[in-house]
């Protein structure tokens, strides 16, 4: 593959490349590049948003370059201030390790096993002593740190900025120094942090990395970036039917970006599909079905068509899915439904279940229920429905 062809593949869908000719220059060295992606384990699931940069890292792997995945077990305890208007809550070492264990298996659903190097940044950050810290903090001025937009905004509005938050981009930059990164990937909100890696590499006498960022995927709400804390996400380990249903729920205006960032559909084909949509030669729901099938196929090969059939069974034919999880009824004659729904994982808490019942979002035989307590005899064999896609069969 020529360098121009490699660049076309690697820059597809990208947001920012700095310096502009930097990636071409690296590729012209005709050697496997070390391509770094740092991900702090601060949540339990890999979302389609996280997968955008993971998929780009895989593009580099497919061209023979080495993916250096940095699990930020140390930096996650500091907390990335990117895009934050206030100091974020610190995670404990135990919380971070638990998230890291959950995420590593999920990364393997996107990345190739070959040309993959997984490193924990506690390897080089935890042993630092005060002399080391003073050494790299002396390389950057406070004025440089305040060039960062979110820090500037907080400074101007008298919101506190901790010294620890100033440390975060420096620690992330030291990751690039430690692993001799040639390229660093990240979301567009990581551009400032990633450029710090270039700065520190140069200060330490090493070749400066190229920075390549990807756009942030907007979540299912159509407004905010995809986030687990906002519950507007699709997880790559979501059950295929649930994944299909979530994609079908997104606003129409997101389809082009989701095709581009979350599927393997070629860019020329995406462009053609969007033009067909604008001309009215394809209905939005048809195109969204194509999008949902494509995303499901990424993580459940061969499951896209079956997920679409299951979707129609629920939303067109108003039938119960073929496969419904079961929960055993307690022995009490009077059954408290919120506890059943919470224990089965259909809701996060009894309080949420009560709210959904009050809103008419919990149904039996497509009819909303209005009470939190029902007779055990009336519930045997019944299928509860919560919202549009969550079902639970109650058995003895």
Average pLDDT of the residues of the chain: 89
pLDDT band for position 352 (50/70/90)? confident
**Residue 212 clears pLDDT 70, i.e. is over it:** yes
Domain boundaries 3-214, CATH class: alpha beta
pLDDT (0 to 100) of residue 277:
93
pLDDT (0 to 100) of residue 87:
47
CATH fourth-level superfamily of 240-315: Tyrosyl-Transfer RNA Synthetase (1.10.240.10)
* Measured distance between the N- and C-terminal CA atoms of the chain, rounded to whole angstroms: 62
* Tens-digit pLDDT profile for residues 115-156: 999 999 999 999 999 998 898 888 888 888 787 777 788 878
* Tens-digit pLDDT profile for residues 214-263: 999 999 999 999 998 888 999 999 999 999 999 999 999 999 999 999 99
Domain extent listing, the chain = 3-214, 240-315, 326-395
pLDDT (0 to 100) of residue 317:
57
> pTM for this one?
0.78
pLDDT higher at 219 or 80: 219
Domain 326-395 in CATH 3.30.420.40? no
pLDDT (0 to 100) of residue 85:
43
**Residue 83 clears pLDDT 80, i.e. is over it:** no
């Amino acid at each position: 593959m020529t360098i121009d062809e490699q660049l076309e593949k690697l820059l597809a869908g990208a947001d920012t490349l700095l310096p502009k000719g930097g990636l071409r220059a690296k590729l012209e060295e005709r050697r496997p590049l070390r391509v770094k992606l740092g991900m702090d384990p601060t949540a339990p699931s890999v979302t389609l948003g996280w997968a955008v940069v993971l998929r780009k890292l895989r593009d580099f792997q497919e061209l023979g370059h080495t993916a250096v995945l940095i699990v930020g077990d140390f930096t996650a305890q500091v907390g990335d201030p990117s895009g934050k208007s206030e100091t974020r809550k610190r995670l404990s070492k135990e919380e971070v390790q638990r998230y890291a264990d959950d995420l590593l298996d999920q990364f393997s659903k996107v990345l190739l096993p070959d040309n993959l190097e997984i490193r924990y940044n506690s390897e080089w950050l935890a042993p630092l002593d005060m002399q080391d810290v003073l050494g790299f903090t002396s390389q950057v001025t406070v004025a440089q740190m305040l060039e960062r937009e979110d820090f500037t905004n907080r400074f101007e509005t008298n919101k506190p900025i901790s010294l620890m938050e100033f440390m975060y981009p420096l620690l992330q930059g030291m990751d690039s120094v430690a692993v001799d990164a040639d390229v660093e990937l990240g979301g567009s909100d990581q551009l400032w942090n990633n450029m710090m890696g270039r700065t520190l590499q140069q200060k330490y006498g090493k070749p400066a990395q190229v920075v390549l960022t990807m756009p942030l995927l907007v979540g299912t709400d159509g407004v905010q970036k995809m986030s687990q804390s906002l519950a507007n996400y699709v997880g790559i380990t979501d059950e295929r039917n649930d994944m299909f249903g979530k994609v079908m729920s997104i606003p129409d205006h997101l389809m082009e970006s989701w095709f581009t960032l979350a599927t393997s559909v070629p860019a020329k084909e995406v462009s053609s599909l969007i033009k067909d949509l604008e001309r009215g030669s394809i209905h939005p729901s048809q195109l969204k079905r194509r999008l949902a099938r494509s995303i499901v196929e990424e993580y459940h090969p061969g499951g896209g068509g079956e997920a679409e059939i299951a979707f129609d069974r629920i939303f067109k034919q108003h039938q119960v899915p073929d496969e419904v999880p079961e929960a055993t009824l307690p022995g009490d004659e009077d059954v408290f439904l919120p506890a059943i729904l919470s224990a089965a994982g259909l809701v996060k808490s009894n309080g949420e279940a009560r709210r959904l019942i009050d809103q008419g979002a919990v149904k039996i035989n497509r009819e909303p229920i209005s009470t939190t307590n029902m007779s055990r005899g009336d519930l045997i064999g019944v299928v509860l429905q919560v919202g549009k896609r969550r079902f639970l069969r109650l058995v003895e």
